[in-house]
Chain A
Amino acid sequence: ELTNRFESIFKKIRGQGKISEENIAEAMRDVKRALLEADVNYKVVKKFTADVSAKALGADILSSITPGQQFVKVVYDELAALMGGNARAIRFHTNRLNIVVLAGLQGSGKTTTCAKLALHFRKQGHRPLLIACDTHRVAAIDQLDTLGKSLEIPVFSDRAKSPLEICREGLAFAQREGFSLAVIDTAGRLHIDADMMAELKALCAAAKPDETFFVADAMAGQDAVNVAKEFHKEIKLSGVILTKMDGDSRGGAALSILDVIGVPLQFIGVGEKPDGLELFYPERMASRILG
């Protein structure tokens, strides 16, 4: 793996005295390959390798007994710092209704994550309400209804209304009934679908959420960052949730998204069941991405 590769690169240049730019460049090419294989966006990879090359040249790699390990540490630390750099706690209030909206591409895991979030915050003492604002996908409301029933968490929906109407009425219901948290599910949509993005923008404007999460799939490829950018531009995201991290995808899209839109990655989805939600740890993600 990566550490061993770097050890062998640096071993053969030990005898030459000073580690040169070329040596760092060669090791950096291996980092580039690892990041691309992990699906980090190519533009982000280029910027990252340039930044880290400069840092590596400055670091005391030659004086280390194991320059390969030292090099990996520089790379790994930079990666973890990049991903954890925007970390902050979820901002919920204790004396009023808190509102969360989940948005993202089709199939990324929003509906399942809504149920997970509701369960997670109920365990912390919240009284959550799920609001089913996806009137677009076949049987979406059935899906959230079933999840809510299995967790004994109420679901607000209305098959006859528009997403915006359901959102407004659902939040009014939440206020009246004294819920402390409303988790709003939205339809999967393309960032290039003007009508659907306008619908989402109107929904978020009406809901005025405390947290707006972009739900992204851990197996997403090079285009993920472009999608996130567009959603961020339209509805101002406050955080990211990366799903299906129980798979064997390296999850490099997470690095690209965090680097480019600068909001924190708050949770990762680690299973299909409602308890499959974990907090995000940048160091663990860094070693996963580096492979």
Chain B
Amino acid sequence: SGASGSFDDRFYDALEDALILADIGLETSTDLIARLKSEIAGRGITTPAAAYAALKTLLAGDLAVTKLPDEFPPKPWVILVVGVNGVGKTTTIGKLAGEFGAAGKKVMLGAADTFRAGAVEQLKIWAQRTKADFVFQQDGADPASVAFDAMEASKARGIDVLILDTAGRLQNKTNLMNELSKIVRVIKRNLPQAPNEVLLVVDATTGQNALNQARVFNEIIGVTGFVITKLDGTSKGGIAVALSKNFGIPVRKIGVGEGVDDLQNFDPVSYVDALLG
């Protein structure tokens, strides 16, 4: 025990270990421990349980949250889904289609991943499963052209929600990020208020590179929400904390499995509980 309440260095080191192992990152973890120390001193906290609770409160506070709006005044409400390769974009779109469909919304899916083998087929099956409309073109088509077609079709058919899939792309690939800028320009030109939501899908197993992903995607096309996938695994997805804190962008949804129902609203309190155990 030391002068700062009844907690010694070993107590704080153990906490910092847990935060780092959860992918919260060295800088964010060190900052959290510093803030915890002043909470403990300022509030005269003396038990480990209370210290843990204080840390959880700090973490939950850092995790901004707003779930997707339930009403969609502009029709179609356009959601653009982006992110690096393999994170779960297409599957997340399938889950969202299921959710909106169940809420009585007319949904359309736009297959603007015209590059990857089997991508259009994969999204087509999700559209069939969730009874969503589906727009696609031949492989290798210009993705911006698919986005345009999908928007025109959505307007014509009175679609409530249009969700556009895009190809996975690593943020350091300038030509691919340019392609994404063009897709957004074409969307905006077609409907000035669109895209109404730009979701960056982040894999919970990702380490510190998630911060780079968020920074670049946000700089180039503006991100309005995160979806953290694969939280049914053993990764704690601590990068969500660093993401929320550094960008002030909310985590909209979390993916907890491969099935259509495996999408949940983000709840900071239960998330933090799972994070710290």
A: which residues have CB within 8 A of B? Answer: 33, 36-39, 41-43, 105-109, 136-140, 142-147, 150, 190-192, 217, 219-224, 226-227, 244, 246-250, 252-253, 272
Chain B residues touching A, majority SS: loop
Least distance between B206 CB and chain A CB atoms (Å)? 5
CA distance A128 to B235 in the complex (A): 36
Task: Write out the residue numbers on chain A whose beta carbons fall within 8 Å of the beta carbon of B17.
Answer: 42
On chain A, the residues within 8 Å of B116 by CB distance are 143, 272
Taking A106-B258, A107-B87, A109-B85 as contacts, is the C-beta distance between A248 and B207 under 8 angstroms?
no
Summarize A's interface: helix, strand, loop or mixed: loop
- Whether a CB of chain A sits under 8 angstroms from the CB of B41 is no
Complex Cα spacing A259 to B204, Å: 23
- Contact B230–A146 (Cβ < 8 Å): no
Q: Which chain B residue shows the least CB distance to A224?
A: B205
The residue in B91, B207, B212 that gathers the most chain A C-beta atoms within 10 A of its C-beta is B207
Check if A36 sits within 8 Å of B20, measured CB to CB. yes
A249 pairs with B209, CB closer than 8 A: yes
B26 beta carbon closer than 8 Å to chain A? yes
Q: Which residue of A lies closest to B129 (CB)?
A: A138
Q: Which of B1-9, B120-128, B190-198 contacts A (4 or more CB under 8 A)?
A: B120-128
Q: State A253–B206 Cα separation when bound (angstroms).
A: 10
Contact B26 A142 (CB under 8 A): no
* Most chain A beta carbons < 10 A, residue from B90, B118, B258: B118
B residues whose Cβ falls under 8 Å from a Cβ of A: 17, 20-23, 25-26, 84-88, 90-91, 94, 115-118, 121-122, 125-126, 170-173, 203, 205-210, 212, 230, 232-236, 238-239, 258
A111 to chain B, nearest CB (A): 8
User: What are 13 A-B contacts defined by CB distance under 8 Å?
Assistant: A33-B26, A38-B208, A105-B205, A106-B86, A107-B86, A142-B117, A143-B117, A144-B117, A220-B207, A221-B23, A226-B234, A247-B84, A272-B85
Residues on B with C-beta less than 8 A from A106 are 86, 88, 230, 258
The 8 closest A-B pairs by CB, nearest first: A221-B207, A107-B86, A143-B118, A39-B207, A146-B117, A139-B122, A247-B170, A221-B23
Q: Are A191 and B203 in contact (CB under 8 A)?
A: no
Kindly provide the distance from the CB of B195 to the nearest chain A CB, expressed in whole angstroms: 24
CB-based nearest B residue for A226? B234
Interface centre among B94, B210, B239, B258 (most CB of A within 10 A): B258
> 19 more A-B contacts (CB under 8 A) besides A38-B208, A244-B85, A248-B171?
A42-B21, A105-B205, A107-B86, A107-B203, A138-B125, A139-B118, A139-B121, A142-B117, A219-B210, A221-B235, A221-B238, A223-B205, A223-B235, A227-B234, A246-B172, A246-B173, A247-B84, A247-B209, A248-B170
